[in-house]
Structure 1
Amino acid sequence: MSETIFSLIINREIPANILYEDDLSLVFSDINAQAPVHFLVIPKKPIPKLSDATEDDQALLGHLLLVANKVAAEQGLTDFRLNVNNGAGASQTVFHLHIHVLGGRPFSWPPG
């Protein structure tokens, strides 16, 4: 996988507002926030898109969801939305798997 802005954040080569970190994941504020609270949960393992994940990634993917929930609670969110874009046609612009966590305002459905 080629270097991405997220790998640069993981390696501390560019700054980010880091909210949480453990051995498997990193959480930081989205610089293009679409809600009052908007952060990204990423694996440290480079997986370009969700469709590139394998059975071996099952525990990691579950871990990312638990981290999203933990940080959402730390940010004071009880209602929030998770979004994963898979591929350019789904508006994925950084090809390193990431979960958007958005909250702090009401959301409508469908999202667009």
Structure 2
Amino acid sequence: MTTPYDPTNIFARILRGEIPAHRVYEDADTLAFMDVMPQAEGHTLVIPKAPARGLLDAEPASLAAVAATVQRVARAVKAAFTADGLTIFQYNEPAGGQTVFHLHFHILPRHEGVALTGHTGRMADPERLAEHAARIRAALAA
């Protein structure tokens, strides 16, 4: 049995402007914004604007748009944080680690010898997130 998409999830609410987010990039099909509980400085999320619970129920055109935005934003995140590499996460369903049931990709800049922090449930400093978002937007504009 497939669980239906819930339009009250936090990412749907961010898309509707009901909850603020530190936006990094937006186009007709996708939105990128800072993760409020980052596992690394510069941890960014990319979501489709079309409703999809996860990878398996996303429309192919929406998935293609998200993939293109992930690539574009990942390049900017890597540059903005002078990262040695990147980790891209995408989880599906509770057994797969998904906790927000709107398709999303995590982009994490990585530096040699620096481990990711755990998802502690603590929100990051909003001023720090705003500064990180500004760095990524500047890299996108370069």
TM-score using structure 1 length:
0.84
In the alignment, what sits opposite 1:88?
Answer: 94
Map of 1:19 onto structure 2: 24
- Aligned pair partner of 2:34 in 29, 51, 54: 29
Please identify which structure carries the higher helix content. Answer: 2
Q: Any gaps of 5 or more consecutive residues in structure 2? A: 116-142
Q: Partner amino acid for 1:90?
A: G
* Aligned CA-pair RMSD: 1.8
The reply on whether 1:58 has 2:60 as its aligned counterpart is yes
Secondary structure of residue in 2 paired with 1:37: coil
Q: 1:91 to 1:21 in 2, by over 3 A?
A: same
Provide Cα deviations, 1:30-55, integer angstroms capped at 9, x if missing partner: 011111221110001110011223xx
Letter in 1 for 2:102: H
* Residue identity opposite 2:35 in structure 1: D
Aligned-pair distance for 1:78? 6.5
TM-score, normalising length from structure 2? Answer: 0.67
1:82 aligned partner, one-letter code: I
Residues 18, 28 of structure 1: 8 Å contact kept: yes
Q: Which residue of 1 aligns with 2:119?
A: none
- Rounded to whole Å, the distance in 2 between the matches of 1:78 and 1:96 is 29
Q: How many residues of Structure 1 are paired with residues of Structure 2 in the alignment?
A: 105
Query: Gapped runs of 5+ residues in structure 1?
Result: none
Task: Report the more deviating stretch, 21-30 or 72-81.
Answer: 72-81
| Cα distance in 2 between the residues matched to 1:69 and 1:61 | 12
Corresponding residue of 2:135 = none
Structure with the larger strand share: 1
* Shift, 1:62, TM fit: 2.0
Distance 1:81 1:28 in 2: 16
In the alignment, residue 41 of structure 1 is paired with which amino acid? V
In structure 2, give the amino acid aligned to 1:69: Q
Structure with higher Rg: it is 2
